[in-house]
Amino acid sequence: MVRGGREEKNRGSGKSRMIWLVLLVMLLAAGALAIPLFVHTGDEVGDQNSGATASGGPGDGSEIAGGEEVAEPVELSITCAGDIMAHGTQLTAQYDSATGTYDFSNNYMYVKEYISDADLALCNVETTFAGGTPTGYPAFNSPDSMAADIEEAGFDVAITANNHMLDRGYRGMQRTLKVLREAGLTTVGSQLAGEDETTFTLVDVKGIRVGIVAYTYETSRSSAQRTMNGSAMSAASKEWINGFCYPELDQDLAYLKNDIDGAKVAGADVIIAYLHWGEEYQRSANAWQKKIADKVVDFGADVIFASHPHVLQPVEWIGDVPVIYSMGNFISNQRAETLDNRYTEQGMLANVDLTWDPQTESITYINMNILPTWVDRFSAGGKQNYYVIPLDGDLDQNPTLAQSGHLSRAKQALEDVRTLVGEEFLHQNCPRLGVDQ
């Protein structure tokens, strides 16, 4: 693989970047990149359900026409979760003193089926795996077992581009990538040094090549010095992370555009962009988020997922591109009891369903819906217990809510999300493709 470069003050030599651009121009001139036509409408879900069976292309069920194999359209379901965090009280809750080990698997027991159901599942891992003693905020460092439990929950891709990625410095950031990959997760948002890696990730899902780019905001620069959470980045760190600074926005977003272009040159059919942005605890997108979203759509993204505010924000369409401005906290200790803010307990599984037509090399259908989630925390067995509760039709039968006595809080969370996002985007009102209505 060829690793995309940046100018020295940001990412190193621009030589690799120029190679990608030259390849892109050559392929465009040859007509190798098709211009897709996007269609989205909730009314089409039923038509898709009765349509062709998903296929990865010739050799696995394609029809034969005139002696030639004809690849059928492929239906792809994508799910993304927001911030997965591990505050100090969570670490204590998941620790088994008898074995000296940590186990986070119970956190996801109720949402695992929804995550595993997706063809591609992503999440923002907002901690590090630096080794040594685990710690919570402000310098997150989680036990390695947490990475394995995230993968076991059904996630395929771990996003590492967030403002806590350098909590344990360059070595912590590098070790985090190794731990996540050893757990079976693909990573995007930072790179291993010396491995000649690209600044984007390309994965194959049901024969569809999905390109993923991920960037996080950085804090203001002083004399061109890049900073994260107000602290200067080391020369080694800034070389291997994907970031942008609001005052330098146009310059920095050019690198994101280069990544999208590079992913397309490398063969990406669909482009997913993840952005770590916005203002903490604000339940609406700000002007910076709106501006960046418009630009990233212009760059060629097909889907935009995002988080960082730690609360949910509305979703919308920009043209035919679904934009989820903030997926909130998927799991954390931020909540009414700790921040006097119940909205930090609320999250979502953001779902995008699309149909890729290999004949036209385009997306012919795209739709989105969200499954709201709520983090239940309660004391039992001498410790705190954390569970991500899907706000679906089974709340009244959920045994954990019965044990905690928090059914009314879960229902309040559902009503909050319904009011913020809109009834029409809720999961039960906008089923996945392939689900009978």
- The model's pLDDT over 357-375, given as tens digits with 9 standing for 90+, comes to 999 999 999 999 999 999 9
CA within 13 Å, CB half, 146:
25
List the single range of 57-66, 229-238, 311-320, 368-377 with lowest mean pLDDT.
57-66
CA distance 181 to 305: 22
Could you give the angle at which helices 249-265 and 15-29 cross, rounded to 10 degrees?
Answer: 60
State the alpha helices, DSSP H only, in 122-168. Answer: 145-152
Pick from 200, 276, 211, 271: which is nearest to 243 by CA? 276
CA distance 151 to 207: 22
Give the pLDDT mean for 304-318: 98
What share of the chain in percent tops pLDDT 90? 77
- Please give the domain boundaries of the chain with CATH numbers for all domains: 15-429 (3.60.21)
How confident is residue 49, by pLDDT bands cut at 50, 70 and 90? very low
Residue 19 pLDDT > 50, yes or no? no
Give whole-number Cα distances, 395 to 54, 109, 331, 406, 407, in Å.
32, 14, 18, 10, 7
Give the pLDDT mean for 167-191: 98
pLDDT of residue 29: 46
- The DSSP string of 123-134 is EEE-S---SSS-
Name the residue type at position 308: H
CA distance 417 to 343: 9
pLDDT of residue 224: 76
Helix (H, G, I), strand (E, B) or coil at 191: coil
pLDDT of residue 233: 93
What's the CA dihedral at 261, 263, 265, 266 to 10 degrees? 170
pLDDT of residue 357: 96
Give 244's strand partners. 217
Give the pLDDT mean for 7-24: 40
pLDDT of residue 69: 74
Give the pLDDT mean for 53-72: 51
- The model's pLDDT over 205-215, given as tens digits with 9 standing for 90+, comes to 999 999 999 99
Mean of all residue pLDDT scores within the chain? 86
Helix (H, G, I), strand (E, B) or coil at 339: helix
Give the pLDDT mean for 247-251: 91
pLDDT of residue 66: 57
